Amino acid sequence: MNRSGCFLVLLLMVFAEISAQQKELQGKLTNTDEIEGIHVLNEASGFNSVTDAFGNFSIGANVNDTVVFSSVHYVPKKVAISAEIIESGILVVTLQKVINELDEVFLGTRLSGDLEKDVKNANVKSPINFYDVGIPGFLGEPEEKIPTLIGQTIGPTHINIEALYNHISGYYKRLRTQRAWEAENNTVAVILFKYDQAFFETSFGIPENRTYDFLLFCMETTSLQRDFYNGAHGRVLDIFEKKASIYTARLYQNDTLEKKE
Dihedrals phi, psi of 242, to nearest 5 degrees: -70, -40
The runs of H, that is alpha helices, within the chain are 3-21, 83-88, 115-121, 161-169, 171-194, 197-204, 211-221, 224-229, 233-260
Statement: residue 207 has pLDDT above 70: yes
Share above pLDDT 70 across residues of the chain, in percent, rounded to a whole number: 70
Amino acid at 6: C
Phi/psi class of residue 246: alpha, beta or left (left: φ > 0; alpha: ψ in -120 to 50)?
alpha
List, for residues 73-119, the tens digit of each pLDDT value: 788 888 999 888 888 888 999 998 876 544 454 455 565 666 566 65
What is the per-residue pLDDT for 4? Answer: 45
**What order do you get walking across the sheet with 39-42 strand by strand?**
48-50, 39-42, 66-70, 77-80
Dihedrals phi, psi of 25, to nearest 5 degrees: -85, 140
Statement: residue 155 has pLDDT above 90: no
Nearest in space to 43 (alpha carbons), one of 21, 12, 70: 70
Which residues are registered as beta bridge partners of 68? 41, 78
What is the per-residue pLDDT for 254? Answer: 61
Burial zone of 34 (CB within 10 Å; 0-12 exposed, 13-18 middle, 19+ buried): middle
What is the per-residue pLDDT for 239? Answer: 93
DSSP at 210 = G
List, for residues 25-67, the tens digit of each pLDDT value: 999 998 888 888 888 888 888 788 888 888 899 898 999 899 9
Residue 156 Cα to chain centre, angstroms: 36
pTM of the model: 0.42
Dihedrals phi, psi of 69, to nearest 5 degrees: -110, 130
| CB of 93 closer than 8 Å to CB of 83 | no
The CATH class, in words, for 21-93 is: mainly beta
- Rank 1-5, 146-150, 256-260 by mean pLDDT and report only the highest: 146-150
- Rank 15-19, 35-39, 129-133, 138-142 by mean pLDDT and report only the highest: 35-39
| CB of 38 closer than 8 Å to CB of 51 | yes
CA torsion 63-219-181-94 (nearest 10°) is -30
Rounded Cα distance, 28 and 44, in Å: 20
Domain spans of the chain? 21-93, 172-260
Rounded Cα distance, 31 and 29, in Å: 6
- Rank 17-31, 148-162, 197-211, 243-257 by mean pLDDT and report only the highest: 197-211
Statement: residue 22 has pLDDT above 70: yes
Statement: residue 238 has pLDDT above 90: yes
What is the per-residue pLDDT for 133? Answer: 47
Instruction: Decide: helix, strand or coil at residue 95.
Output: coil
Share above pLDDT 90 across residues of the chain, in percent, rounded to a whole number: 7
